[in-house]
Amino acid sequence: MASSITLTNGIRTNLLALNSTKDNIGATQNRLSTGLAVSNPVDDAFKYFSAKSLSDRANDLSTRKDAIDQGVSVVSTASTALTSMETLTQQMKGIVDSSRSGSATQRGSYQTQLQTLSKQIGKLVNDASYNGQNLLNASTANLTVYFSDKSSSKLDVHGVNFNVSQLFLKASGSVAGVSGQSSSDIVSKLGNFSQSLSAYQLSQASVLATYNSHADTMQNSLDNTVQKIRAQSAIMGNNVAILNVRLDFTKNYINTLQGGSDKMTVADLNSESAKLMSLNTRQSIATSALSMANQADQGVLQLLR
């Protein structure tokens, strides 16, 4: 039967102190290496799960933030296109005004330019697409951007049909129904011109008066169209502003949530470094104390011999 080893109280106390110090050193080194004071439920169940809840919320909102950012791009694309469409429509107004004093050849060129500009407006509408979403070519092309996990926390952006056939308005305010396929269609639908611009003999006072009356009608039609574009541009601009506000809020909210989580789990590296130095010193002292206790016991044995 093996004999048991009996330790004196002094040696046992020093061994327990060394073991405790070793465990503390290991825990401190782990906090320094991971940067976390609480890395699992064993460290502190309340702080761990509270921090996890905040981090999970931040991660969920991060996904929403990305969707909001994409929404900003979709609406901004439409808003930019509307600004360009207004510019082209204003150019059409300038061409109509210039035609009043132009020669027959010039008026023929002006009519062609009007058709070209209307086609370019149509191309702008079709090109105003971001990631497959176009808010200007169909009234059913709606965009819904969610801000959080609550279904009511969202922004609905309604699309519009601004294709050429639906965009241009008559002087009366009704849709002109311009096809954009022929130059004569544009001047007849918007200005009630009964023939091409070059066909009018402006040297005759009565013809000039009729021409100017039609030109005024076309100017009014284009003015109504510009107002229509501006009204939609204001709506899109307001939506962009809302999305940007929500995007900034979500970014700041995510930082707040992550900061709150860090407060519960992140270790103070300066404090942990100082603690490690203290523990190393304590371990050295405990080792020396154990050695002295052992030497004292050996001295007693020598006396007994």
Per-residue pLDDT of the chain (305 residues; tens, 9 = 90+): 455 555 556 556 655 665 666 555 555 555 545 556 566 676 678 877 887 888 888 898 899 999 999 999 999 999 999 999 999 999 999 999 999 999 999 999 999 999 999 999 999 999 999 999 999 999 899 999 999 888 899 999 999 999 999 999 999 999 999 987 788 899 999 999 999 999 999 999 999 999 999 999 999 999 999 999 999 999 999 999 999 999 999 999 999 998 887 776 655 455 556 655 665 565 566 566 556 655 555 555 455 55
E-strand stretches of the chain = 129-130, 133-134, 143-146, 154-157
pLDDT given at position 174: 96
First to last CA, the chain: 26
pLDDT given at position 258: 86
Q: How many DSSP H helices and E strands does the chain contain?
A: 7, 4
pTM given for the model: 0.76
Left, alpha or beta for 192 (phi > 0: left; psi -120 to 50: alpha)?
Answer: left
CA distance linking residue 87 with residue 225, whole number of Å: 12
Q: Half-sphere exposure (CA, 13 Å, Cβ side) for 74?
A: 23
Domain spanning 66-250: CATH superfamily? f41 fragment of flagellin, N-terminal domain (1.20.1330.10)
pLDDT given at position 55: 86
Tell me which DSSP letter residue 139 carries.
T
Question: Concatenated DSSP letters for 171-200?
Answer: TTSSB----SS-HHHHHHHHH--SS-GGG-
* Domain ranges for the chain: 66-250
